[in-house]
């Protein structure tokens, strides 16, 4: 999954990038399923691999000349270099560090997912509605026709 | 904290770093946004795996779902911006957007 | 019903586009401003009574079921609510005239109200993730608002702002994940209690660093400030006013302060970091402001500098320092909001933001010139305006806490501030009237009304500073000075 994500960043063709991102999302969704998080997995697949990919491809279609941007040659090797360096350092260091993280044993989780979401994190839902409104209004505002400000 | 948890956090960190590195070096606006998406994946993986390790998978799911919803709004707004930028300046190169200096 | 602060703007925002189809100007103007006025009155009048008995917590039942919407209103939250409502209302009144030539007013107000709802939600939230959600709500609304004019500069600024903001959000969520991993809780009270038990040392340091990165970026502290000087000038004037006057403080300073002081507890290391960040922002931004020709850009750098003051004051950690920092937050919100609004008036009248092209506008726009002067002197810290008192308190607190060097730097930075503001005032308003502007008129009614309102507040609070401090600032400062106890004591759900 990480491989596909990195591919998504590194690939030149925008459409291939979008596809790589979609595949990566799919894989992430499967990982979520394996972590006993079916709701998150379903959400990730349907929303990120689905909806966001569609939006991406829509945008790419609307700016079809976009792939003429030449990335700097510097970028082409800095990015993989930094990434690989991080992976190496991280692999060596992280396990030891994480072992040292103190943690409280947490109580058993009660209730079903529905209860946790609707009753435990209700304010989050209000926030979700708010952020959806923000997104909708933003798109409406940014695509409006007519009098513009110069 | 099992072994798998270490892996998950490791991958999550890798994703976030990849995205951040990409943000620094890439020039195409849409690519930049893909970097932002990758960061988002890393963060949702981090959230969920943390919840998984603690046994609080339900709460973590609720958090991740909310996070994904936020991400969608963000994507919609950002892509709307990108399309508008393309319309006004006919280019997706971030170097062209260097009129304003920080 | 504290939830009104969040829900009311959202409902009105949801309805606005429909209303906008019927009535393009009058009804949206009326609705939006009435909502904000209501919230202001509610906060100012009812708020004090509500918190008289300690923090108010709301666990709301909904449709008969016991849902958990936990909102917490204490001195600090109330203080922020009042600030948000005040500046929000002023900018909204200003928009009645200013946004005319942008078009799509109903849409503008809808986004604006969502942003206000987000900010209100942020200050009322009682858990870490709630803070994050509403931070994003306000942020997403703000990106579109910055780009509202759809001109090239605005779009560029909005996109850069978005990119940096997303990076900040990533750090904030990472920190939340770390805290959740350690403590298994997200609510302030639970986290604070758990952290005391845990003795988490270095990992807490990592989480703090992430929070600092994320919120510091939102607050535009140096060296995370790069997005602000582009975003704030390009946005429409009322949005600049709200961004500089409110958003960087709510999503940056408030969140940082709440978490560091009430949940983590202010350690000497943290205090030192905050103070240094504050001082650096204060000085660097002041110097950068000096060379600016664009009026709004100068104001933007000044915002960064003043946020430095605020963080410096709060970072001292003593009750006096915190009070000074909070007071300055309030004063700066009023004064910087005022200044961005007057700059909008100037921009609308002359069509330019370039200071070198202006001159002598005071003869044609006397009210704007006067209110601008008041705002400028307030931020520069000239008695008897409000800014003077807040800066004085911070400086005294610095000396008392044993940081005389910082105090001297603060005074010097103040002098610098005064200098570039007087420069701005002189170039734009005083001096010879540039012939180009011979025909300009004073700004339209609502624009002047909004600026006059804020200017009067600056003067009034300056004169009545003692009662303002004791009524509004002190309760907020007390909550913060209490540190972790404020949250674990009365907030246990």
- In chain B, the N- to C-terminal Cα span, in Å, equals 43
Q: Residue B90 falls within a domain, yes or no?
A: yes
Express each pLDDT in B51-63 by its tens digit. Answer: 887 777 788 888 8
- Number of structural domains found in chain C: 1
- Number of structural domains found in chain B: 1
Q: For residue B23, what are its two tokens?
A: 């943000």
> How high is the mean pLDDT of chain C?
82
> Per-residue pLDDT for C420 more than 50?
yes
Cβ count within 10 A of residue C33: 18
Query: Considering CB atoms only, which of A104, A124, A149 is closest to C150?
Result: A149
How far apart, in whole angstroms, are the C-alpha atoms of residue C468 and residue C457?
A: 11
pTM for the structure as a whole: 0.89
Q: Higher-confidence residue: C118 or C354? A: C118
Report phi then psi at A36, rounded to 5.
Answer: 65, 35
Q: Name the minimum distance, in Å, from the CA of C163 to any CA of chain B.
A: 8
pLDDT at residue A150 in the model: 39
How far apart, in whole angstroms, are the C-alpha atoms of residue A69 and residue C369?
A: 47
Cβ–Cβ contact B52 with A under 8 A: yes
> Per-residue pLDDT for C275 more than 80?
yes
Label each residue of C366-393 as H, E or C.
HHHHHHHHHHHHHHHCCCCCHHHHHHHH
> Per-residue pLDDT for B24 more than 80?
no
> Per-residue pLDDT for B84 more than 80?
yes
Range of the domain at B67: 3-96
Q: Which residue of A has its CA nearest to C69?
A: A123
> Per-residue pLDDT for B14 more than 90?
no
What DSSP designation does C435 have? Answer: G
Contact A139 B68 (CB under 8 A): no
> Per-residue pLDDT for B101 more than 60?
no
In this prediction, residue C137 has a pLDDT band, given cuts at 50, 70 and 90, of very high
> Per-residue pLDDT for C5 more than 70?
yes
Q: Higher-confidence residue: A96 or C7? A: C7
In this prediction, residue B70 has a pLDDT band, given cuts at 50, 70 and 90, of very high
Q: Residue B102 falls within a domain, yes or no?
A: no
Cβ–Cβ contact A92 with B under 8 A: no
Q: Name the minimum distance, in Å, from the CA of C140 to any CA of chain A.
A: 6
pLDDT at residue C173 in the model: 92
Q: Which residue of B has its CA nearest to A111?
A: B58
| Listed ranges C211-215, C317-321, C366-370, C440-444; the one with the highest mean pLDDT | C211-215
Half-sphere exposure of B95 (CA within 13 A, CB side): 7
The mean per-residue pLDDT over the stretch C317-327 comes to: 85
Q: Residue B101 falls within a domain, yes or no?
A: no
pLDDT at residue A69 in the model: 59
From A120-129, C206-215, C397-406, C479-488, the region with the lowest mean pLDDT: C479-488
pLDDT at residue B95 in the model: 63
The single residue listed with the structure tokens 């958003």 is C247
Predicted ipTM?
0.90
In this prediction, residue B36 has a pLDDT band, given cuts at 50, 70 and 90, of confident
Query: Considering CB atoms only, which of C155, C177, C226 is closest to B102?
Result: C226
Express each pLDDT in C230-269 by its tens digit. Answer: 888 888 888 888 888 898 888 888 998 888 877 777 778 8
pLDDT at residue C136 in the model: 93
CA dihedral C154, C158, C159, C162 (to 10 degrees): 180
pLDDT at residue A147 in the model: 46
pLDDT at residue C287 in the model: 87
Domain ranges of chain A: 1-69, 74-100, 112-150
How far apart, in whole angstroms, are the C-alpha atoms of residue A27 and residue B46?
A: 15
Burial of C27 (0-12, 13-18, 19+ CB in 10 A): middle
Residues in chain A where the model's pLDDT stays below 70: 1, 3-12, 64-76, 94-111, 119, 146-150
- Counting residues of chain C whose pLDDT is more than 70, the rounded percentage is 92
pLDDT at residue B53 in the model: 76
b/e C278-304 (16+ beta carbons within 10 angstroms → b): bbbbbbbbbebbeebebbbbbbbbbbb
Express each pLDDT in C56-88 by its tens digit. Answer: 666 666 665 666 677 777 778 888 888 888 898
The single residue listed with the structure tokens 């339209």 is C444
> Per-residue pLDDT for C186 more than 90?
no
pLDDT at residue A148 in the model: 46
Q: Higher-confidence residue: C295 or B5? A: C295
Q: Higher-confidence residue: B4 or B68? A: B68
Q: Higher-confidence residue: C438 or C312? A: C312
Report phi then psi at C70, rounded to 5.
Answer: -100, 110
> Per-residue pLDDT for C55 more than 70?
no
Express each pLDDT in C286-296 by its tens digit. Answer: 888 888 888 88
How far apart, in whole angstroms, are the C-alpha atoms of residue C254 and residue C260?
A: 10
Nearest to C159 by CA among B36, A29, A132: B36
CA dihedral C212, C214, C219, C221 (to 10 degrees): 60
Q: Name the minimum distance, in Å, from the CA of A54 to any CA of chain B.
A: 11
What CATH number does the domain containing B31 carry? 1.10.287.3510
Q: Residue B55 falls within a domain, yes or no?
A: yes
Contact B74 C173 (CB under 8 A): no
> Per-residue pLDDT for C471 more than 80?
no
> Per-residue pLDDT for C176 more than 60?
yes
| Listed ranges B8-17, C195-204, C231-240, C479-488; the one with the highest mean pLDDT | C231-240
Q: For residue C306, what are its two tokens?
A: 């003043």
Q: Which residue of C has its CA nearest to B101?
A: C230
Nearest to C158 by CA among C211, C251, C227, C92: C227
Range of the domain at C481: 4-490
Cβ–Cβ contact C441 with B under 8 A: no
CB under 8 A, 24+ apart: contacts of C196-204:
C196/C484, C196/C488, C197/A104, C198/A102, C198/A103, C198/A104, C199/A102, C200/A102, C202/A100, C203/A100, C203/A101, C203/A102, C203/C178, C204/C264
Q: Which residue of B has its CA nearest to A78?
A: B25
Burial of B47 (0-12, 13-18, 19+ CB in 10 A): buried
pLDDT at residue C493 in the model: 36
Residues in B closer than 8 angstroms to A39, CB to CB, are 61, 65
Cβ–Cβ contact C187 with B under 8 A: no
pLDDT at residue C61 in the model: 61
pLDDT at residue B1 in the model: 45
How far apart, in whole angstroms, are the C-alpha atoms of residue B16 and residue B22?
A: 10
- Counting residues of chain B whose pLDDT is more than 70, the rounded percentage is 83
Contact C152 B89 (CB under 8 A): yes
């Amino acid at each position: 999954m990480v491989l596909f994500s990195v591919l998504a960043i590194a690939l030149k063709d925008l459409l291939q990038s979008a596809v790589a991102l979609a595949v990566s999302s799919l894989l992430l969704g499967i990982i979520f399923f394996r972590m006993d998080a079916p709701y998150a997995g379903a959400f990730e697949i349907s929303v990120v691999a689905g909806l966001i990919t569609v939006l991406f491809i829509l945008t790419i279609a609307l700016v079809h000349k976009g792939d003429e941007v030449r990335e700097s040659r510097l970028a082409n090797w800095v990015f993989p270099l930094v990434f690989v360096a991080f992976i190496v350092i991280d692999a060596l260091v992280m396990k030891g560090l994480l072992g040292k993280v103190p943690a409280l044993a947490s109580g058993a989780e009660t209730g079903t997912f529905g209860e946790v979401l609707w009753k435990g994190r209700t304010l989050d839902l209000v926030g979700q509605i708010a952020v959806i409104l923000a997104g909708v209004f933003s798109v409406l505002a940014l695509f409006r026709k007519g009098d513009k400000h110069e | 904290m099992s072994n798998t948890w270490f892996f998950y956090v490791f991958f999550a960190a890798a994703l976030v770093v990849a995205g951040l590195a990409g943000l620094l070096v890439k020039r195409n606006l849409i690519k930049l946004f893909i970097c932002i998406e990758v960061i988002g994946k890393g963060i949702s993986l981090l959230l969920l795996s943390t919840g998984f390790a603690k046994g609080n998978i339900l709460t973590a799911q609720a958090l991740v779902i909310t996070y994904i919803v936020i991400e969608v709004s963000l994507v919609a707004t950002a892509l709307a911006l990108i399309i508008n930028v393309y319309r006004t300046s006919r280019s997706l190169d971030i170097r062209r957007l260097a009129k304003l200096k920080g | 019903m504290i939830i009104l602060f969040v829900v009311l703007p959202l409902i009105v925002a949801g309805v606005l586009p429909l209303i906008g189809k019927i009535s393009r100007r009058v009804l949206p103007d009326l609705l939006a401003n009435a909502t904000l006025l209501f919230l202001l009155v509610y906060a100012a009048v009812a708020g004090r009574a509500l918190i008289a008995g300690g923090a108010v917590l709301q666990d709301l039942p909904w449709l008969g079921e016991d849902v958990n919407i936990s909102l917490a209103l204490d001195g600090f939250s109330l203080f922020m609510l009042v600030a948000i409502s005040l500046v929000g209302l002023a900018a909204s009144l200003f928009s009645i005239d200013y946004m005319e030539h942008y078009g799509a007013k109903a849409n503008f107000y809808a986004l604006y109200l969502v942003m206000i709802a987000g900010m209100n939600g942020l200050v009322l939230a009682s858990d870490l993730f709630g803070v994050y959600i509403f931070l994003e709500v306000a942020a997403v609304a703000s990106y579109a608002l910055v780009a509202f004019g759809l001109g090239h500069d605005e779009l560029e600024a909005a996109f850069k702002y978005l990119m940096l903001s997303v990076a900040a959000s990533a750090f904030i969520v990472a920190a939340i994940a770390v805290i959740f991993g350690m403590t298994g809780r997200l609510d302030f009270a639970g986290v604070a209690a758990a952290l005391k038990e845990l003795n988490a040392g270095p990992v807490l340091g990592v989480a703090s660093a992430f929070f600092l990165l994320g919120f510091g970026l939102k607050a535009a502290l140096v060296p995370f400030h790069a997005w602000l000087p582009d975003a704030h000038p390009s946005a429409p004037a009322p949005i600049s006013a709200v961004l500089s006057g409110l958003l960087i403080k709510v999503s940056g300073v408030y969140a940082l302060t709440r978490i560091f002081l009430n949940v983590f507890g202010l350690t000497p290391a943290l205090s030192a970091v905050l103070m240094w960040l504050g001082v650096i922002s204060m000085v660097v931004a002041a110097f950068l402001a000096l060379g600016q020709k664009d009026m709004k850009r100068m104001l933007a750098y000044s915002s960064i500098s003043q946020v430095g003051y605020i963080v410096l004051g709060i970072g001292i950690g003593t009750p006096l320092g915190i009070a000074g920092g909070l007071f300055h937050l309030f004063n700066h919100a009023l004064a910087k909001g005022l200044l961005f609004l007057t700059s909008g008036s100037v921009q609308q009248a002359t069509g330019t933001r370039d200071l070198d092209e202006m001159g002598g506008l005071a003869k044609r726009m006397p009210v704007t010139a006067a209110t601008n002067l008041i705002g400028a002197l307030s931020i520069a810290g000239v008695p008897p305006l409000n800014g003077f008192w807040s800066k004085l308190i911070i400086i005294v607190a610095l000396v008392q806490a044993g940081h005389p060097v910082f105090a001297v730097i603060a005074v010097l930075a103040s002098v610098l501030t005064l200098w570039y503001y007087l420069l701005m005032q002189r170039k734009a308003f005083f001096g010879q009237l540039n012939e180009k502007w011979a025909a300009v008129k004073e700004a339209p009614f609502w624009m002047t009304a909004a600026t006059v309102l804020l200017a009067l507040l600056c003067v009034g609070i300056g004169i009545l500073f003692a009662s303002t401090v004791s009524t509004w600032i002190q309760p907020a400062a007390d909550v913060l000075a209490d540190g972790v106890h404020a949250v674990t004591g009365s907030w246990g759900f």
